[in-house]
């Protein structure tokens, strides 16, 4: 390949790389600006929530809310139909019952003496 053509190719490649670097820098700047805007938005929202909580909470508990490390997350009220609420309540009750049954079964298993089998318990003495 002729040196003139090589130098042209090199020049074009350098120009393309420079454009890519500029584009990359611009995109990074946009990303950083979006991240700072998002953080500012979250700060404004949390400050609003703390303000709302302070209005609702008695003055004694307001001091606990103002501390940044101990700020509690405000619970969102779910918009549920009465049927769905009943369905969820039944599911949770079933889950809790199963959990209690499993806990009770595990405590009964540990109460049996080691080396004691169920066949020995069923045989009369």
Residue 71 contacts residue 65 (beta carbons within 8 Å): yes
Q: Do 74 and 49 contact (CB within 8 A), yes or no?
A: yes
What is residue 58's three-state secondary structure?
Answer: coil
User: What is d(CA 68, CA 73) in angstroms, rounded to the nearest whole number?
Assistant: 11
Instruction: Give yes or no for a contact between 88 and 80, defined as CB atoms under 8 angstroms apart.
Output: yes
Contacts of 103 (CB under 8 A, 6+ apart): none
Q: Is 53 helix (H, G, I), strand (E, B) or coil?
A: helix
* pLDDT, position 112: 56
Do 54 and 62 form a contact (C-beta atoms < 8 A)? yes
pTM of the model: 0.32
26 or 69, which is more confident: 26
pLDDT exceeds cutoff 70 at 14:
yes
Q: Token match 């307001």: residue?
A: 62
pLDDT in tens, 105-119: 888 776 555 565 555
């Amino acid at each position: 390949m002729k040196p003139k053509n090589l130098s042209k190719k090199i020049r074009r490649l350098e120009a393309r790389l420079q454009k890519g670097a500029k584009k990359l820098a611009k995109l990074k700047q946009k990303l950083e600006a979006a991240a700072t805007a998002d953080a500012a938005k979250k700060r404004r929202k949390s400050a609003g929530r703390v303000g709302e909580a302070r209005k609702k909470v008695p003055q004694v508990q307001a001091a606990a809310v103002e501390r940044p490390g101990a700020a509690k997350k405000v619970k969102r009220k779910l918009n549920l139909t009465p049927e769905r609420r009943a369905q969820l309540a039944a599911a949770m009750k079933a889950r809790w019952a199963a959990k209690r049954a499993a806990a009770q079964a595990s405590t009964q298993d540990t109460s049996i003496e080691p080396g004691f089998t169920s066949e020995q318990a069923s045989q009369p003495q």
